[in-house]
Structure formats: C-alpha cells, structure tokens
Amino acid sequence: MGRDCCALEDGKVLPIIDLAYQGLGAGMEEDAYGLRRVLGAVPEALVAYSCDKNFGLYRDRVGAFYIVAKNADELNVALSNGAALARANWSMPPDHGGAAVRLVLRDSKLTADWQDELDTMRARMREVRDLLAAAGQIGSLNLAPLGAQNGMFAMLALSKEQILQLREEHGIYMAGSGRINIAGLHGGNIDKFIAALGAVAG
C-alpha cells in the first residue's frame, strides 16, 4: 500500500465510507477503487452503501451497512450496537425495494441487464456534461469544468438571486446551493436550460 494510506494504517482513525453512486461516476469497478483501497489498508471500517441511485429506487430506501472488524468478537459487539441503533431509528425497514434488488442480483441475466442500463445512464450523463461544458463561459458562470467532472450532481456558482430568478422567470428549479441533477437534463431541455442561464448570469 502506498504512503498515502499510512495515516489510516496507523489504526488511529475509523474510516466511515459512504458509497451512494457506484456505477454513475466512471464505472462499477472504477467507482469502488477508493473504497477497496482503504479497506485493503485498515483493520476496521464502516461502509454505508446506497442502491437508491444505481438501482433507481430512490424512495424505497434500499442500501446496506457493512462493518469490517478485527475479529469475530469485535464484529459481534459492533453488530449488536448497529442493531440497537437501527431499532431506535427505523425499527423494521420495508423489504419491497430490497427484494427487487435481491431478485436482480441473484439472476445473472437480470444483473447483466441492470449493468447495461447503468452504463447507458452513465453515458447519457456524460453527454449532458459534455453539452454543458461546450457552452463554456456564460457571463459570470463557467460551465467548462463540468466536462471534467463525473457523476449525477453538479454545483453551479449561482447566487441566491439568480437561482430565484431561474425559478420565477424560467420555471427551472434547483437546490438553493446551486446543486443540479445532471440526469434531469436531456436533448429536449438542455438548450432552454443554457439559454436561461445566459439570461440570469450573462
């Protein structure tokens, strides 16, 4: 393991890793690189995994919580604490979304179909990013960096006033932080979106 993992190898920190977009960045394996690298270097870790985006099951709250422990005794302690926290927070989660994921992952044909669809979605988001990046500098707003970034969300450097103006004058909604969902854009609305950005930031 390279020196960049030394701080973790000392065992003085407990890595808590949140993986919520696997397959929507650079690819299933590629997106797990950092996680695998850290898990290869540490004796203990916690991993929160979400299937909400990569399975398109956002409102079904599907995911997993993994505990990496030094030995079986410590794992049992961590598990019983995890179970108590789960009981206090949500008690019994619904199984419908989880059951759909189970069905897909236990069938090699369905798994291959799902991975194809994920690849298609990732490629589509790449196209959207390239179209946004091609618009370049729009007044005070530079969209070019979006082309070099990955994933489902992007931050636009817009002021609160500009975000409000987009909403009220152009019917375009985004988080108050300027965060947009790349997957919400497509060939049918991206020109309108870029024109609206020109109207508020140009």
Q: Which residue's CB is nearer to ligand PLP, number 67 or number 75?
A: 67
Strand (E) or helix (H) holding 66: strand 63-68
- Structure token digits, residue 25: 């960045």
Residue numbers 12-51 binding ligand PLP by CB under 6 A: 18, 20, 50
* Residue 39 C-beta-side C-alpha neighbours within 13 Å: 14
| Encoded amino acid at 69, one letter | A
Q: Which residue's CB is nearer to ligand PLP, number 23 or number 63?
A: 63
| Encoded amino acid at 19, one letter | L
Residue numbers 49-108 binding ligand PLP by CB under 6 A: 50, 52, 63
Size of the site for ligand PLP (CB under 6 A): 5
Q: Which residue's CB is nearer to ligand PLP, number 52 or number 117?
A: 52
The alpha-helical segments, DSSP class H, found in the chain are 6-9, 28-31, 33-39, 72-89, 96-105, 108-134, 160-170, 190-201
Are 202 and 139 in contact by the 8 Å Cβ rule? The answer is: yes
CB 63 → ligand PLP: shortest distance, Å? Answer: 4
CB 47 → ligand PLP: shortest distance, Å? Answer: 12
Point out the residue whose Cβ comes nearest to ligand PLP. 50
Site residues, ligand PLP (CB under 6 A): 18, 20, 50, 52, 63
